[in-house]
């Protein structure tokens, strides 16, 4: 019995890392737009979303540390892990590219987390359920923001339409990983902590299809090869650069306070 | 210089925020946006993310008609010399209970 409980804790710890790392890395990516966005209002919108994601990461990391019980803090998880120890999907570490790439990356992620967190509100773990309920309110707004942009860019000018198509070609292969049911997800699902991702995928697909139609964009075929590996620490080369920028200060001056 | 390059900004919108139900919508500032929906989103991001708000209005700035400086005399000055237009001109009779 006690063995079961500790296994459950390990699984939940891993779940917190998967969810939290997605938020942290995407938030870090979005914050790169700060001061560089195409227009002031969008600069503020993207950095607001980055801050929301950072807040969600902090809640998940705090709970991860509590589950682990080794006295680590959320800062330890953010600043003192290598890329091999990060569990985020490859999608969120992809470079910002142009505004179309950033918005599509955001849209794929927002729509995935919208349906995922809606289900996580019913998780058998009450802390996960509470974090999901709080985050879902923010995610609703993120999704509205990215959906409206997909429609305007796709159904905008010839140039914005072409750039959206290019972004779809670049990023679609990273969407499959979000819905993979590996052994950990299956165990979490069986214990009532986590939803069945194939159900999330079906809802996600319907939503994406609707927005793409409004945006006069075509969904890529189902046969496209999907990237994988982020959830087990096999990342694209981009993650190391992100971590180098994000971690340099606390790694150079571990006692620094700010 | 190409005329189109003079202004690459979207058109301006005025933002009005209501802080609680029943309170008036008050002017908070302005944002740029290509259309009404994005004007609402930008207004939310710029003016309502930290403060309290229950409702936002956005209005294209071009829809607002404003008084001009030279109108000030005929529009506003007459009030100054008609002191009986203000409530404090009138004395409250003894016996009127003001605490009600």
Q: Rounded to an integer, what distance in angstroms lies between the CA atom of residue B15 and that of residue B25?
A: 9
Task: Confirm whether A212 is domain-assigned.
Answer: yes
pLDDT at A47: 95
Q: Say if A126 falls within a structural domain.
A: yes
| Contact with chain B for residue A48, Cβ under 8 A | yes
Buried b (16+ CB within 10 A) or exposed e, A28-59: bbbbbbeeebebebbbbbbbbbbebbbebbbb
Angle formed at CA A197 by CA A25 and CA A127, multiple of 5 degrees:
65
Residue A33, pLDDT > 50, answer yes
Q: Indicate whether A122 belongs to any domain.
A: yes
- State the count of interchain CB pairs (< 8 A) between A and B: 28
Shortest CA gap B91–chain A (Å): 52
Give A82-104 pLDDT, tens digit per residue. 999 999 999 999 999 999 999 99
Over chain B (100 residues), what is each successive 10-residue block's mean pLDDT?
59 96 96 95 90 94 93 76 78 79
pTM of the predicted protein model: 0.87
Mutation for B interface: A40, A41, A157, most B CBs within 10 A: A41
Residue A57: inside a domain: yes
Bridge partner list, B30: B14
Q: What ipTM describes this predicted complex? A: 0.76
- Residue A3 pLDDT > 50: no
Residue A223 lies in a domain: no
Give me the number of domains chain A comprises.
Answer: 1
pLDDT of residue B1: 40
Q: Is residue A200 part of a domain?
A: yes
Give the HSE-up count for residue A159: Cα atoms under 13 Å, Cβ half-sphere.
2
Distance CA A113, CA A204 (A): 9
User: Does A40 sit within 8 Å of B49, measured CB to CB?
Assistant: no
Residue A100 near residue A167 (C-beta atoms within 8 A): yes
The answer to whether residue A224 sits within a structural domain is: no
Residue A55: give its domain's CATH number: 1.20.1260.10
Q: What is the rounded CA–CA span in Å between residue A123 and residue A236?
A: 31
Range of the domain at A43: 3-218+230-252
What DSSP line would sit under B53-85, residue for residue? -SEEEEEEGGG-----GGGHHHHHGGGGG-GGG
Asked whether A20 and A190 are in contact (CB, 8 A), the reply is: no
Task: Return the H-helix or E-strand segment holding A5.
Answer: helix A2-31
Phi/psi at A181 (nearest 5 deg)? -100, 90
- Residue A5, pLDDT above cutoff 90: no
**Residue A202 resides in a domain:** yes
Q: Please, is B61 exposed, middle or buried when counting C-beta atoms within 10 Å of its C-beta (0-12, 13-18, 19+)?
A: middle
């Amino acid at each position: 019995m006690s063995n079961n409980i500790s296994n459950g804790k390990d699984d939940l710890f891993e779940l917190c890392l998967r969810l939290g790392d997605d938020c942290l890395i995407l938030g870090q990516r979005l914050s790169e737009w700060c001061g560089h966005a195409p227009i002031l209002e969008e600069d503020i919108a993207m950095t607001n979303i980055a801050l929301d994601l950072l807040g969600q990461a902090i809640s998940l990391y705090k709970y991860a540390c509590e589950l682990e019980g080794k006295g680590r803090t959320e800062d330890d998880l953010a600043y003192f892990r290598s890329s091999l120890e990060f569990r985020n999907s490859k999608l969120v570490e992809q470079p910002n590219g142009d505004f179309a790439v950033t918005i599509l990356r955001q849209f794929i992620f927002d729509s995935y987390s919208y349906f995922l967190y809606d289900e996580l509100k019913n998780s058998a773990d009450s802390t996960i359920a509470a974090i999901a309920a709080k985050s879902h309110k923010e995610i609703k707004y993120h999704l509205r923001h990215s959906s409206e942009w997909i429609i305007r860019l796709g159904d905008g000018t010839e140039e914005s339409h072409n750039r959206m198509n290019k972004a779809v070609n670049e990023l679609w292969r990273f969407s499959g990983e979000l819905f993979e049911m590996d052994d950990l997800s299956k165990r979490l699902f069986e214990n009532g902590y986590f939803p069945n991702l194939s159900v999330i995928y079906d809802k996600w697909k319907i939503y994406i299809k609707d927005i793409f139609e409004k945006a006069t964009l075509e969904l890529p075929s189902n046969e496209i090869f999907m990237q994988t590996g982020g959830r087990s620490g096999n990342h694209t080369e981009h993650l190391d650069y992100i971590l180098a920028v994000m971690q340099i200060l606390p790694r150079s001056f571990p006692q620094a306070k700010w | 210089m190409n005329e189109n390059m003079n202004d690459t900004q979207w058109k301006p919108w005025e933002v009005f925020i209501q802080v609680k139900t029943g309170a008036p919508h008050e002017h908070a500032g302005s944002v740029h946006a290509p259309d009404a929906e994005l004007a609402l989103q930008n207004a939310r991001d710029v003016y309502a993310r930290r403060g309290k708000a229950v409702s936002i209005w956005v209005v294209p700035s071009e829809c607002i008609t404003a008084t001009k400086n030279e109108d000030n005399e005929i529009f506003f000055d007459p009030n100054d010399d008609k002191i009986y237009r203000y409530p404090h001109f009138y004395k409250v009779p003894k016996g009127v209970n003001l605490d009600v």
